[in-house]
Amino acid sequence: MSKLTHIDAAGQAQMVDVGAKSITERIAIAQAVVGMQPETLKLIIEGGHKKGDVFAVARIAGIQAAKKCADLIPLCHPLMLSSVNVDLEADTTASQVRITVTCKLAGQTGVEMEALTAASVAALTIYDMCKAVDRGMVIEGVRLLEKAGGKSGHYRADS
């Protein structure tokens, strides 16, 4: 395993210097899953929620979170994202919403944290909008599914 890049020789936190890295196309795909009661999912799907379109608000929240990642995660670099896509899929069989976020850019550092942050905040937004009808919702499965670009190359999570 490689050493932690955000810790210097004295054990102090540091922001990694990416100045000498090549600019490459980079992509990261992350997910989160929100489990809920079937009635809650039905309310979301049918658009009957009093607070409005849950998916539309969660999508916007995810995009905004990706853009604000460097403000939330102390050692992240501010990035010029070229694309953020937040996909929300209702699974009525499992009574859950699967959130998949894809972030892209041409830059000197990866976009994994932006994708993970976007998926997490989209999930939290669904919870926030639906907590009045279902406090037992569960957010789980927040993880990186895939990343490509940069020196470390391609990564794909096991299914």
Q: List, for residues 124-134, the tens digit of each pLDDT value.
A: 999 999 999 99
pLDDT confidence of residue 12: 72
Rounded CA gap, 22 and 128, in Å? 40
Low-confidence ranges of the chain (pLDDT < 50): 1
Q: What span, in angstroms and rounded, lies between the C-alpha atoms of 81 and 104?
A: 6
138-148 and 24-35 strand pairing: antiparallel
Give catalytic status of residue 128 as yes or no: yes
Residue 84: the pLDDT is 98
What's the pLDDT at 28?
98
pLDDT of residue 32: 98
Are the beta carbons of 124 and 57 closer than 8 angstroms? no
pTM attached to this predicted model: 0.90
What single string gives the DSSP state of each residue in 7-75? B-TTS-B-----TTSPPEEEEEEEEEEEE--HHHHHHHHHT--TT--HHHHHHHHHHHHHHTHHHHSTT
Q: What is the pLDDT of residue 4?
A: 65
- Catalytic site residue from 71, 91, 128, 134: 128
